[in-house]
Chains A and B, each alone.
Chain A
Amino acid sequence: MDLLQRFALGEIDAFETLVDQFQGEIYAWTVRIVRDPGTAEDLTVETLWRIYRARQRFRPDGNFGAWARRIATNLAIDHLRLKPREESLTTEPAGVPQPDRLLQRETADKIRQAFRRLPAKLQVAATLALIEEQPYEEIADALGTSAGAVKLRVFRAVRILRKRLKQAGIGPE
């Protein structure tokens, strides 16, 4: 019997093989969205648990990787909705910065804060499209929508961000 069929029937050995094959891919996708390794690991474990729980809904002739990625994306969106918006997700280098470096860092902080205040779905689309430069089709597949809808979300994210940066007095150098 095929691996995916065995998984759909609830065989734990088949699931272990799938975890071994796909955990890296799920983690890589999740960490691109949430941008924090610890959170991404937790969300990957939760994704894999949900995959196992939903195994009966999986069609063995379907694409396991795409299905897993969609579950991971939904979990990442939920996480972004729930976490405090002002939380900084990136690690800053240690040490005393120079004045111009300080200004750059301050600008980057403000941009990150403005970005983190976007609605979660817009954040995810903009992160994957603009920061990670993932193909629109792939993002659409993970979000369960069309490439056109993803482009629209990115457009809306950019428009809101531009407005907020202008209000904060931040412009191009």
Chain B
Amino acid sequence: MTEYDDRQIGDALKRSFPPVHTELERDLWPEVLRKLDDRTVRVSFRVPWYDWALVGLSTAMFLAFPRLILVFVYHL
């Protein structure tokens, strides 16, 4: 069997992949804006891991030593 040469490979690819329509049919700005809003809301509600660690540690301390709650309340 004969092999494709470089030009034939290019021609075969062009035949196998029909031309695509490159005109954008609609305005994508509303979707971009929605995505920006979504991500902004998600980012603004994100709690850093060290805050969660602090909450966990405090809860463990209060469970182990309930009297610490009084000290904590006193310092508020």
Contact = CB atoms under 8 A, between A and B. Distances in A.
Interface of A: 16, 19-20, 23-24, 27-28, 31-32, 35, 37, 41, 44-46, 48-49, 52-53, 90, 107-109, 111-112, 115, 126-127, 130-131, 158, 161-162, 165-166, 169, 171-172
Chain A interface mostly: helix
B28 A44 contact: yes
Contact of B8 (A48, A53, A172): A172
Given A45-B31, A109-B16, 15 more contacts: A19-B29, A23-B29, A44-B28, A45-B28, A48-B32, A49-B36, A90-B18, A108-B16, A127-B17, A158-B6, A165-B3, A166-B1, A171-B4, A172-B2, A172-B5
B61 interface: no
Contacts of A131: 10, 13-14, 17
Given A45-B28, A111-B16, A27 B22 contact: yes
B21 A37 contact: yes
Interface of B: 1-6, 8-10, 12-18, 20-29, 31-32, 35-36, 39
Contact of A23 (B13, B24, B36): B24
A51 to B, nearest CB: 9
20 contacts: A19-B29, A20-B29, A24-B24, A27-B24, A27-B28, A28-B22, A31-B20, A31-B22, A32-B20, A35-B20, A37-B21, A41-B24, A45-B31, A45-B35, A48-B28, A49-B32, A111-B13, A130-B14, A162-B4, A165-B3
A28 B20 CA distance: 9
B3 A19 contact: no
A39 B66 CA distance: 57
B22 A41 contact: no
A79 B28 CA distance: 19
Contacts of B21: 31, 37
A132 to B, nearest CB: 9
Contacts of B24: 23-24, 27-28, 41, 44
Contacts of B16: 90, 107-109, 111-112, 115
The 5 closest A-B pairs by CB, nearest first: A28-B22, A108-B16, A111-B16, A27-B24, A130-B10
